[in-house]
Amino acid sequence: MFDRLQKPFLTVETGEAYQPTRLSYEITQKEALITALSKLQCIQQNPTPNSWQWYWTDECNDLHFESIDSFRKNPTHPTRLGTITLRDSILYLNLPSFKRACMAVTFFHHAITADIAHVHHADFINKVFGLDERLPHGFTELFKDEELDQILNQRIEDYHKVQEQCETAQTAEQALSILSEYTHSEAKKRLPYAERYVFDLKNQTDPDVVFLGFYIFLRSRELVAIKRWFGETGYSLADAADETVEQVFGGMGIDILD
């Protein structure tokens, strides 16, 4: 443990912890999507078909990474924020950090209209990596759909069971006790290595609310990974959620996505 405390975890160029994240978009108009991407100056197409690079320049030049304010951008060699791949009816946006994933969902929501494509879910890693640690080879190795769906479905099933128990509770106090016990239990659970988050854009009229929820969800998990890396084994999701909500709503006037 002492050795780990002396070692920093791996970060990306803009200062965030390296935590691979893959956004998956459902496509309804493939050709219109390709046209929309080709119009963005911050997107460069690769020699291989249906593959692009997303750079920190032009339309997204004002994106702000508060984790490394001293970072000096080189206009002739812009920082690559992520890679984009189109396969069948799914667009994959691969990113090396939670922060970039949060920025991406907002940026591409405005850059590509929902009738062309919309974000469906995000797959991510619940840990940080040491500087000399073996890194996963590619996003295909990281994210297995069957495993991620199983974890997600179990979480939804557990939630519905608790919801049913609360609705059939004899008193409000009993319902509150059931919910409190469930929340405490979930907060103390060991997070899975990889996890999936599904966006609920259909039932929410304000996409910014959805994306804020995504930020709080990811930021809480990022805090748990970092705190536990530095030996705070008792630090839980409940602690992280409290800290994140305080940051978001306590600051009042701070734009968490910028």
Q: Give residue-wise pLDDT tens across range 150-181.
A: 776 777 777 677 778 788 878 888 877 877 77
Task: Enter the pTM of the model.
Answer: 0.81
How many beta carbons lie within 10 A of that of residue 119, not counting itself? 26
Q: Where are the beta strands (DSSP E) in the chain?
A: 21-27, 43-45, 51-55, 80-87, 90-95, 117-125, 194-198
Residue 97 CA, chain-centre distance (Å), reads 8
pLDDT band at 254 (very low <50, low <70, confident <90, very high): very low
Tally of CA atoms within 13 A in the half-sphere of 125 that contains its CB? 21
pLDDT band at 258 (very low <50, low <70, confident <90, very high): very low
Q: Is residue 185 part of a domain?
A: no
- Count how many domains the chain has: 1
Looking up tokens 């999936």 gives 196
Average pLDDT estimate for 33-38: 95
Q: How far apart are the first and last CA of the chain?
A: 35
Average pLDDT estimate for 231-235: 84
Q: Is residue 203 part of a domain?
A: yes
Q: What is the pLDDT of residue 42?
A: 95
Q: Is residue 238 part of a domain?
A: yes
Contact 187, 121 (CB under 8 A): no
Q: Is residue 170 part of a domain?
A: no
How many beta carbons lie within 10 A of that of residue 132, not counting itself? 7
- DSSP letter, residue 250: I
Q: Is residue 257 part of a domain?
A: no
Q: Which residues of 145-180 are buried (b: 16+ CB within 10 A; e: fewer)?
A: eeebeeebeeeeeeeeebeeebeeeeeeeebeebee
More confident residue, 12 or 70: 12
Render pLDDT for 42-58 as a digit per residue (tens, 0 to 9): 999 999 889 999 999 99
* Average pLDDT score over the chain: 82
Strand, coil or helix: what is 187?
A: helix
Q: Is residue 70 part of a domain?
A: yes
Q: Is residue 212 part of a domain?
A: yes
Q: Is residue 178 part of a domain?
A: no
Q: What is the pLDDT of residue 237?
A: 82
What range defines the domain where residue 243 resides? Answer: 2-143+192-251
Strand, coil or helix: what is 8?
A: coil
Average pLDDT estimate for 48-75: 82
Render pLDDT for 90-143 as a digit per residue (tens, 0 to 9): 999 999 999 999 999 999 999 999 899 999 999 998 989 888 887 766 666 677
Q: How far is CA 121 from CA 91, 167, 245, in A?
A: 11, 29, 22
